[in-house]
Amino acid sequence: MTASAKPPLVVIDGVHKRFLHEGRSVQILEGIDLVIERGEMLSVVGPSGAGKSTLLHILGTLDLPTAGRILYDGQDVTRYSPGRLATFRNYSLGFVFQAHHLLPEFTALENVMMPGMIRGGARAALARRAEALLTEVGLGHRLTHRPGELSGGEQARVALARALVLEPMLVLADEPTGNLDSKTSESIHALFFDLNRRRGTTFLIVTHNNELADSMPRKVSMRDGRIESDLRRFSYSGPFRDGPSEREPTLDPTDPPG
Ligand SMILES: Nc1ncnc2c1ncn2[C@@H]1O[C@H](COP(=O)(O)OP(=O)(O)OP(=O)(O)O)[C@@H](O)[C@H]1O
Ligand SMILES: [Mg+2]
């Protein structure tokens, strides 16, 4: 089977979202259409209240659209049963949200192992992977600390390791490094690019960090519940190789100008 015969990784098709607030209906998403191909790295930017987190929740199957469909590999996940959705999320998605919901009774290491334990993975192998990832995010010296014994930024990094440990096909991140110092943020952004290059992991990152957004190959801007622009960068400063799509190859930024 050729790559082009496969449906896109994600199709967001005419998604609307309305909330009921104090008896009144408030329209938050007003018809979002977006196609995400395998291996893409895209940022979603826009002013506060634009609907970015709402869209991310719907994309992550944590909330349903009022109208429209979300297709993963051509399958409409808005029709899945709760049980099927839970399995789908465990196998396919990694979440990095600011409210990271670590389990307070468990250590950093155990929290990172948790998605694999839910799947019934071998404990020793999971522990090794979790430890390697925690070391990568700079927490090799905090493996046995519980969330209450970690700083806010350290908790965020544990949640990040937990999101990445099973190597999901798509990572959905909402301000993943919003609370971190710039050095830690940069090393985590580098980890994203590294995973994208090595594993082909697709990343969708909601961010107010212009530097991060501008280093990514694709930038989607939202305003008032709509997509205002969708820009692909053909030359950019990030380490991402040209995407695995049908695009023409572009100049390698390390190539000397011809
Ligand atoms: N459950 C809800 N009921 C009513 N309104 C809601 C609900 N959730 C979100 N909203 C409204 O929807 C709008 C979009 O919210 P959302 O969290 O998606 O914004 P955002 O783009 O992520 O903003 P920020 O950059 O501040 O995180 C906001 O005006 C918010 O008040
Ligand atoms: Mg938000």
The tens digit of pLDDT for each residue in 196-217 reads: 998 899 999 999 999 999 999 9
- pLDDT tens-place string over residues 137-172: 889 999 999 999 998 888 988 998 999 998 899 999
pLDDT at 4: 55
pLDDT at 232 over 50: yes
61 lines ligand 1 (CB under 6 A): no
78, 67 in Cβ contact below 8 A? no
CA of 135 to the centre of ligand 1 (A): 34
pLDDT at 246: 35
pLDDT at 97: 84
CA of 100 to the centre of ligand 1 (A): 18
**pTM across the whole model:** 0.85
CA of 144 to the centre of ligand 2 (A): 31
Kindly indicate the confidence band of residue 241, based on its pLDDT and cuts at 50, 70 and 90: very low
pLDDT at 92 over 60: yes
- Domains in the chain (CATH in brackets) are 38-56+82-232 (3.40.50.300)
Kindly indicate the confidence band of residue 195, based on its pLDDT and cuts at 50, 70 and 90: confident
Please list all protein residues whose beta carbon sits less than 5 angstroms from ligand 2, which is an ion: 53
Query: What does the alpha-carbon distance between residue 65 and residue 17 come to, in Å, rounded to a whole number?
Result: 5
In testing the pocket of ligand 1, which one of 20, 30, 44, 54 has its CB within 8 Å of the most ligand atoms? 54
- pLDDT tens-place string over residues 22-75: 999 999 999 999 999 999 999 999 999 999 999 999 999 999 999 999 999 999
